[in-house]
Structure 1
């Protein structure tokens, strides 16, 4: 076995979880500074000559777009004022829902702090001089008695929110003199054209400004409509979203609760309704034991695959698995084969993907434990594929055993566990898939097949919770506060007693249901009022790959909406999903449409100034 093939990963045996309690209090005041700067749009007065730009969505990507625009314009010789309106649904600018600093501190990010940097790397133009990544920010601002900071450590999401807000404050402070930034807590539900400019609408009013360009960075703001009919049944309480997580405090102690989804949101829900209600975890024989408070509900999760996510260790970007088969050279060869024909996932990608993952597994497997390609794929992606009969009826015990096995393999790490090295290879394959997927690189049938059958499973393996939280889920399963009774996807129906789930061998009725999935864009279902209105007016159109209707909005490679020919509406982050793969991330390295938009605005205002100068000099 060639040891040189392994990534330079060293297991971090004692992982620190950084929270706001570890940071000096004066640093956390940036949150209040942002709140004080929010305005009512009707109280904003500007000169008639002022140019207006809108950013709709004040989460991390909205912050990134603003920072790029200011950095690009900092050396422009501006002869008139520019005003940027940043709209957000709440006062936590730069955070979005995922990183709000008012959430419980036991909700963690699912990757090591060494992966998080809110700043664009050189040689991009910069507007802030002292730009700290999250690791260095913690080092500079932690209280004196805290331990040393390791980039492999993890952090609470509320702490990441404080970091983002602090960076945001630095950007606001560094804005050029002739650029004003207005922070507005207002929901935007429509955009209409006015000549070559745009007007913004809420449900109640049309706002008084015209905008030369609009950047849409609305994040995870789609709605899961599946159980909307629950409104007809007042004895059933359905949460269409798990966030803000404190909304779940309305669930009574010891209630029985159905949860749709086994992913990261499910982990948040499970911990909030147990540990968040006074329960605690204690270490015992390399496992965690849950000590209840008596206030916990009983949680009954279900999903299409009915499997928890594989835990993610504190790995750094430079420790990515080195692909041996699914390489750039291989992709170039199939892309050059026939420029007119798109790539087929089943023919061109799936065989090489399976080969890559099988090879990774067998590199560490004993000679008598080597698996065939199909056996490796089944063990990773479909471990419950052949469960039937009495084992299916006792699916909860299967999940207790399965999560224990996964946890043991995670503890062994990628240098000893064949399973975890195969998972590591799967993560690298998923990142490589972006080069195939983006902007309809596959034919329509292939994209549909990948979207429906592979992306969910690859995400389950690649982007799971930190090991700490995975051990907590296992402890809750053992203690019976999570009850995995549904080994196959149940049907859902309402009756006079509540919401009934049944899958043929197990039936149960609930009065509380949580949709623990993150809603995806779906124009045909109209699950986002802003994009539905843009679609109806023709400012946006649906992305259709061959005959596959993706439900996503179509964009050009520079991030512009594809609805109108000379559109100045751009999109960045989550709303670009379907056009690109896996854009719901804090990373600034991939799909940075904020850069292309900022350059376009710089060109726009420069041309405008030149025309005004030429006109005035005649």
Structure 2
């Protein structure tokens, strides 16, 4: 009989990290008892669903190869041992060096050979890396550890006497009895909103085609015929996925002629019409100049500042994001922008002198005086409104004017991105937002903000703004978008895209209020975005079961004024992230990490980066060590029930 049995439900990158941390800590703590680990995923063990290896080669990861890892390094703040391992890029170079592996076909080997540190790998290639990590862990297990994989869906979880838990599995003739359970479920399925149901019913009744928010790699697009108009609502990362699937995914090609990218249609493409409220796509990510480990070192969101915020929360006070945190984010971004601007036209020493003085600026007048002192003209001053809404001072007399402006805007965005995330002032500043995610999380996580500020300022305003500015596509996608616009395969509506159901003409109708005469009618409407995380609407069978039986709860922020905000995130304690039930009590042997906890944590979709003290690695290490503390009870006989019971 094992002394300890563990269930990990969800085996994408976070579940894989938790498995690695369990094994590493077992070795470090010299635990000699037999330990059973059950890993469960409905798709694949290692890649999970998002990074599965059978998805289209036209879908790219949104992080460069050298900044993807599963392993710890010296930057990670954790109690457990540091066990380094190869990043995705390091693994690719190993694969390219050996030149052959019977596990991988020629296409995978070719990608490995061509991949550069700052290249964006395909998602399938990322999945192969994760699968390799899992295989390596299993092949090097100590003799006292056994890992059993279950490619199925966990549909229920209950407590048993003497600290045990039972995991119910779909379509399997057995269930699992374990001592501890960790959920790392990733993106969860949710029920449609009332508006989405209305659109779905309209489509079903008239034989139209409506795709609600979902991962494009999960959708079969074969029924959409060539030449048919397709309306895509959303201009973020999902839009670029659909753009690729409908073009190069259907045999089209991008070619460079006289230095300019051109699109050669295959004839199988539909006619794409896309838009969003903002009306322009996410900013392209600046080409990486920071290497694998580089990041902006905060000047204002420092450890002492974060400690001050924590002390305020401990006194029972809540933080107002827009009044207290946003000004510090603004100063961080401006400091990077102006320093890069000075360096680009002068010298590094001068930019360093600027920063030494800028850190003491306390108001707008002092800032203007300093900018004038360093010769920065007012037309180059940072302006959030112009960056968030670059067309706000433009006058478009017709749709053609907007189209011309958009092409020029996209070209500028592309060339800025090619300038790099250190050298180009704009892209350096926006990349700083990405670097600051850890600091912001330390302030806003676990209900640090007051209820209204979390709802309106963080979720309603800053999070979508941050996404638009800092987590956009590779520069190559923007260049491809330009080529598709110029080829007539793609058209953008303009700001404040509006979608209507037209029963009379039996179609969806879309337009921008700026150009009401430019109306598109189509049988096909695609929501080009992921569904929001909300366990109150989840259709995930395990979370649904836990919610309905009161074994988990949604994280609610309560204000001192009596206000309440239900974030929709899975409620967990501070590290090691124990799941909290409907009565407010944490489960001593049940844990959760990742996307379902969005609301308790912020930007849980962020992947594991090497060299930057990744929060995910600290979390998985803390959970692993807490689980392994259960081995201290092994001598009292409480951990001696078999890990598997046949039905």
State the TM-score, normalizing by the size of structure 2.
0.79
2:550 corresponds in structure 1 to 538
* Pairing of 1:241-320 with structure 2 (within 5 A): 241-245=214-218, 247-312=220-285, 313-314=287-288, 315-320=290-295
SS at match of 2:232: strand
Q: State the distance in 1 between where 2:484 and 2:496 align.
A: 21
The yes-or-no answer on 1:342 pairing with 2:311 is no
Q: Give structure 2 stretches of 5+ with no counterpart.
A: 100-109, 346-374, 559-563, 641-647
- In the alignment, structure 1 residue 591 sits paired with structure 2 residue 564: no
Structure 1 residues 50 and 514, CA, compared in 2 at 3 Å: closer, same or farther? farther
Kept in 2: contact 1:264–1:464 (CA 8 A):
yes
**Structure 1 residue 189: deviation in Å?**
2.9
Aligned length: 563
Instruction: Please show how residues 518-537 of structure 1 align to structure 2 within 5 Å.
Output: 518-537=530-549
What does the per-residue CA deviation read over 1:222-265, in whole Å, with 9 as the maximum and x for residues that have no partner?
33624344154351222232443562233222222122221112
1:443 to 411, 426, 450: 450
- CA deviation vs aligned residue, 1:361-380 (integer Å, no higher than 9, x gap): 3441784643587x610122
Native 8 Å contact 1:224 1:519 kept in 2: no
Cα distance 1:515–1:149, how it changes in 2: closer, same or farther (>3 A)? closer
1:450-506 Cα deviation digits (max 9, x unpaired): 111111111222122222222112222222222111421314436361333355425
Distance 2:236 2:604 in 1: 17
Q: Is 2:486 the partner of 1:474?
A: no
- SS of 1:483 mapped into structure 2: strand
The 1:446–1:246 alpha-carbon spacing in structure 2 relative to 1, beyond 3 Å, is closer
Does the 8 A contact of 2:66 with 2:90 survive in 1? Answer: no
Distance 1:55 1:378 in 2: 45
What's the offset of the Cα at 1:527? 4.7
2:179 maps to 1:212: yes
Q: How does 1:179-578 map to 2 (within 5 A)?
A: 179-195=145-161, 196-201=163-168, 207-223=174-190, 225-226=192-193, 227-229=196-198, 230-231=200-201, 232-233=204-205, 235-240=207-212, 241-245=214-218, 247-312=220-285, 313-314=287-288, 315-336=290-311, 339-363=315-339, 364=341, 367=375, 369-371=377-379, 376-386=383-393, 390=397, 395-414=402-421, 417-448=424-455, 449-493=457-501, 495=503, 497-504=506-513, 505=516, 506-546=518-558, 547-557=564-574, 558-563=576-581, 564-578=585-599
Q: Deviations over 1:18-56 (max 9, x none)?
A: xxxxxxxxxxxxxxxxxxxxxxxxxxxxx6x67542211
User: Where does structure 1 lack aligned partners over 5 or more consecutive residues?
Assistant: 1-46
Match of 2:600 among 567, 570, 579: 579
In 1: Cα distance, 2:523 partner to 2:137 partner: 47
CA RMSD, Structure 1 to Structure 2 (Å):
3.1
Aligned partners of 1:531 and 1:435: how far apart in 2?
A: 26
**Deviations, residues 175-204 of structure 1 (Å, cap 9, x unaligned):** 233332221121223323333333333567
- Correspondence for 1:101 among 27, 39, 53: 53
Q: Residue 242 of structure 1 contacts residue 265 of structure 1 at CA under 8 Å; is this kept in 2?
A: yes
The 1:524–1:565 alpha-carbon spacing in structure 2 relative to 1, beyond 3 Å, is closer
Q: Tell me, in whole angstroms, the C-alpha distance in 1 between the residues paired with 2:170 and 2:125.
A: 33
Displacement of 1:355 in angstroms is 3.2
1:157 aligns with 2:174: no
2:631 is the counterpart of 1:602? no
For the Cα contact (< 8 Å) 2:254–2:261, is it kept in 1?
Answer: yes
> Does the 8 Å contact 1:358/1:376 carry over to 2?
no
Task: Return closer, same or farther for 1:111/1:285 CA change in 2, 3 Å cut-off.
Answer: farther
TM-score, normalization by structure 1: 0.83
Judge conservation of contact 1:242–1:515 (CA < 8 Å) in 2.
no
Give the 3 Å change call, closer, same or farther, for CA 275–127 of structure 1 in structure 2: same
Distance apart, 1:417 and its partner CA: 3.5
The Cα of 1:292 is off from its aligned counterpart by 0.8
Would you say the 8 A contact 2:47–2:127 is kept in 1?
yes
Deviation at 1:568, TM superposition (A): 1.9
Find the residue that maps to 1:501 and give its secondary structure.
strand
Match of 2:85 in 1: 131
Offset at 1:530? Answer: 2.7
Secondary structure of the 2:6 match is: strand
Q: What is the distance in 1 between the residues matched to 2:639 and 2:600?
A: 40
User: Quick one: higher RCO (CA 8 Å, sep 6+), 1 or 2?
Assistant: 2
- Find the aligned partners of 1:487 and 1:71 in 2 and give their Cα distance: 51
Distance 1:601 1:322, change over 3 A: closer
Deviations 1:205-238 (A, max 9, x none): 8953322221111111233624344154351222
